[in-house]
Structure 1
Amino acid sequence: MSTMVGVNYKSQLREELLANTGSLDILEVTTEKLFIQNDDPVLEILMSRLPVSLHGLDLSLGSSNEMPETYCANLAHTLSATSHEWFSDHLSLTAEDGVEVGHLMPMQLSNEDLERTVAKIRAVQAFSDRPFLVENITSYYPIPGSSIPEADFLRMLCEATGCGLLLDVNNLYINASNHHFDPMTYLEQLPLDRIIEVHLAGGSRKFGMMVDTHATDVWREVWELFDQVCRHIRPAAVIIERDSNFGLFSDTLAELDIARGILARHGLRKPLALTVAAA
């Protein structure tokens, strides 16, 4: 099938999503939302009609602790009970020693962290026969103790575990702008055939830097970077993320059309095969 284009599910938009199901190729659902009993009938309907990408927030690959047993049990049950194309989480830390950080925090990238992260990925891969993807996040300051560039770290994770990648183009643009590097040079360091999903989103300019917010339309510069990226990758899906400050849903539909237009220009609305399998 062609590269799928869709959005992340937000309950505030349930009626709009239900009314426009035909305009979506895929739906991204927060994994942890399904840990508790689903009392959202609209989400159930949408998940029965559309392919689903499960996207986690709290795996905390960067924690030095073992993954909590309760979280692992919930994740394993959700993956077993939910039809999904793949599941993903972030290259980040969200808790340490039982203390919740409250957001996606960049993790230290060292050989020790690589070994620990590889072990965690292999553990969660055993919960599903579908691919597991790791997403790049934004960082606003250097992380002490890091000795491996992020792109190299992601490449080594792929080599060691067979995992795939979720490339967040907005995060890449923000990091490149804030830390003054060439985003395409970063991209060249990744195993491009492992990029299965792409995220597009908007951000804000504040505190003298660019910040990832998912609260605005996709920036023009992010569309331009996405256009460049599409010359080199063949993703199975593109998701436009919006978490707050919702405008007219017609604007979201227009963004989906922009994404489809860019994909078509690069021949990515033709049949594609999902090639990354869980190790």
Structure 2
Amino acid sequence: MRRLGTGIGWRPEIAEAVERMPGIDWVEAVSENLCPGHLPESLLRLRERGVTVVPHGVSLGLGGAERPDAGRLAALADRAEALGSPLVTEHIAFVRAGGALTASPHLEAGHLLPVPRTRDALDVLCENVRVAQDALPVPLAVENIAALVAWPDEELTEGQFLYELADRTGVRLLIDVANLHTNHVNIGADPAEALGELPLEAIAYVHVAGGFERDGVWHDSHAHPVPRPVLDILTDLASRVAPPGVLLERDENFPGAGELEAEVEAIRDAVARGRAESGGPADREAPAARAASPGANAADHAVRQRLGLAQAALLSALVAGAPAPEGFDRVRLGVQARALAAKRADVVAKVAPELPVILGPAYRPAFLAYARGRPMGAGYRRDALDFAERLLSADAGPAAEDAGVRRELHEWWLERSGPVPRSRRPGVRWARATRRVLLRR
């Protein structure tokens, strides 16, 4: 496995700081935020300096009951080729459920949700990973995720699940030590036990990130400093194997360049401590990953359908107000449901930043009220339009109570509701040009 070194997650908000940061060997960029024909100038400059760029996918849903979508796989492949990346990464998670497989409404989570650690789910995941590997031009690595809820009646520990996945498919592993800490706090999983069960030679690189605890629940926010327990897990991992790469993730609440550099240095120190404890050299290479097992069984339709029904029931409880499936902690499901709604509100505010401006402080409570029982099914941009349309048709709320807000919201909706923005339609352009001429007379 190619050694990557020390890296940081590239985000537009910190692009300048990343370019100036000393000792950065590589960066990771969210694949869905990149367009191969229009790559950010910052990433192009980094590549010209020899900095490796790895695309990191968040929407493939390899742990879902359906086979991976060919279009999403092609998009991930395009980004890897455009960036000249040595590998691509995704998550061991499901992000959507329902549809034809289960004869139920299609639901989108807008977030990474945990896969049940069962034999059925493992069979499906292995087959999905092999489909992805065949479609990608470079090796694939998959990441363990953070969980707020645990599936009942699981058959494998996290370490066992990841070991069998790597053994049966030959896939690389992206180990997120912050997620190991999250799962320790939230569902009692032992990070040391998980590390002890992992095929360490299959590790492609390691994620490190911060979070916060509220009411006994750890939230993997990627918006807070990396805490000491996460660095301690990183040290433990580094005492077992020299990780080919380690990367700091930060997605929100970006600090100054100095604080980011200090966090990267703390990560380097944690790795160095682990390597010193191991008694081996700090740059020792990990052995090559094992090859895929040729005789692994494919998941049949019945297995996929069973998994699909279970995932659809869970997602319905989280985003559509359905009853909690049997065996789940209802309190934790409530925490997860609120977290999903909050993230949905935040992302809609990013893809449609005019809405919080138009609505002011009323935006968030209005959106959360709209989202309750109205699952997202067609992406965040469609969600923003549906939200605005709902406000315009409601008898109460900010659009009904303030004529100015209603007028601005209606103009915003008209601009974006058609296949072409209203301001770019020929008739509208002509009318606006005519009005400008008349006003100048």
TM-score by length of 1: 0.91
Superposition map of 1:112-261 within 5 A? 112-144=120-152, 146-261=154-269
SS at match of 1:231: helix
1:227-255 deviation line (CA, Å, top 9, x unaligned): 12211122110001000111111111112
Structure 1 window deviating more from structure 2 (142-151 vs 241-250): it is 142-151
The equivalent residue for 1:11 is 12
Superposition map of 1:1-150 within 5 A? 4-20=5-21, 22-35=22-35, 37-49=37-49, 50-96=51-97, 97=99, 98-144=106-152, 146-150=154-158
1:110-157 deviation line (CA, Å, top 9, x unaligned): 222212211111121123453211111111222246433222111111
Q: Distance in 2 between matches of 1:163 and 1:273?
A: 15
- Count of equivalent residues: 278
Letter in structure 1 aligned against 2:68: M
Indicate the percent of aligned positions where both proteins have the same amino acid: 30
In the alignment, is residue 270 of structure 1 matched against residue 283 of structure 2? Answer: yes
- Give how far 1:271 is off: 5.7
**C-alpha distance 136-105 of structure 1, shift in aligned 2 (>3 A):** same
- Give how far 1:269 is off: 4.2
**C-alpha distance 210-11 of structure 1, shift in aligned 2 (>3 A):** same
Runs in 1 of length 4+ with deviation above 6 angstroms? none
Q: Distance in 2 between matches of 1:76 and 1:270?
A: 30
Letter in structure 2 aligned against 1:69: A
- Give how far 1:88 is off: 1.2
Structure 1 window deviating more from structure 2 (153-162 vs 258-267): it is 258-267
Are the aligned partners of 1:2 and 1:270 in contact in 2 as well (CA < 8 Å)? no
Q: Distance in 1 between matches of 2:291 and 2:263?
A: 31
Q: Distance in 1 between matches of 2:261 and 2:238?
A: 20
SS at match of 2:38: coil
Alignment RMSD (CA, Å)? 2.2
Letter in structure 2 aligned against 1:57: V
Q: Relative contact order (C-alpha < 8 Å, sep 6+): which is higher?
A: 1
Are the aligned partners of 1:3 and 1:271 in contact in 2 as well (CA < 8 Å)? no
Q: Distance in 2 between matches of 1:147 and 1:262?
A: 33
Q: Which has the larger radius of gyration?
A: 2
**C-alpha distance 274-52 of structure 1, shift in aligned 2 (>3 A):** farther
**C-alpha distance 35-68 of structure 1, shift in aligned 2 (>3 A):** farther
- Give how far 1:278 is off: 7.7
Q: Distance in 2 between matches of 1:268 and 1:138?
A: 31
Relative to its length, the structure with more strand (as a share) is 1
SS at match of 2:242: coil
- Give how far 1:2 is off: 6.3
Relative to its length, the structure with more helix (as a share) is 2
Are the aligned partners of 2:174 and 2:205 in contact in 1 as well (CA < 8 Å)? yes
Letter in structure 2 aligned against 1:186: A
Q: Distance in 2 between matches of 1:196 and 1:239?
A: 11
Are the aligned partners of 1:5 and 1:25 in contact in 2 as well (CA < 8 Å)? yes
Q: Distance in 1 between matches of 2:266 and 2:180?
A: 19
Q: Distance in 2 between matches of 1:15 and 1:44?
A: 13
- Give how far 1:277 is off: 7.9
Are the aligned partners of 2:88 and 2:140 in contact in 1 as well (CA < 8 Å)? yes
Letter in structure 1 aligned against 2:32: E
SS at match of 1:75: helix
Letter in structure 2 aligned against 1:52: V
1:24-45 deviation line (CA, Å, top 9, x unaligned): 0111111222356435211222
Q: Distance in 2 between matches of 1:99 and 1:70?
A: 18
SS at match of 1:53: strand
